[in-house]
Amino acid sequence: MISYKIFILFFMLLMHYIEDFHLQGCLANLKQKKWWEKQMSNNDMHSHYALEHSIYRNDYKMSLFAHSIENALFVMLPMIVDMLISEFTHCLQNTWILFIPSTILICVSHYLIDDSKANEMKINLVQDQLYHLCIILLIFLCYFPIIGAWSI
């Protein structure tokens, strides 16, 4: 049973990396404020002034939020499959109760981490991915507590 739980963890990590590095598509640009500024400067305007007074000034936030939701659902997909297959036989009687808070935690943390990398430029890619890894491990440990759960 330990190998099954390790498989779930690796599947969660794989889903994160597939979504973060391969499926972002146009959201990779749209979630960056600098990209929007560049688009405004292409229209012969002063980019910072134009973006700050534009109706598009917060569009990068919505794109970042969309990416965060997508990532959260991809990361939680292995947990959904596990909950459907196991028919709630984990240590916790009803693991579906954890699904919504876990998904929200991943979504909010992913938004904040990616914003601090893409827009505030406070962290690099290595730090970004390590923070995401820690959140995924935290969620995994909420579903599969280490103490007493590895024998199930």
pLDDT digits (tens, 9 = 90+) for 9-27: 999 999 999 998 888 888 8
What local confidence, expressed as pLDDT, does residue 109 receive?
A: 96
71-83 confidence digits (pLDDT tens): 999 999 998 888 7
With a CB cutoff of 8 Å and minimum separation 6, the contacts of 47 are 37, 38, 40, 41
**pLDDT score of 43:** 63
What six digits make up the tokens of 66? 């969309």
pLDDT along the chain (152 residues), means of 10: 83 93 84 80 59 72 93 92 68 67 94 94 95 95 65 44
pTM (global) more than 0.85: no
pLDDT at residue number 50: 58
Cβ within 8 Å of residue 108, ≥6 positions away: 68
The pLDDT, as a whole number, for residue 84 is 77
pLDDT for res 97: 75
SS3 content of the chain, % helix, strand, coil (to 5): 70, 0, 30
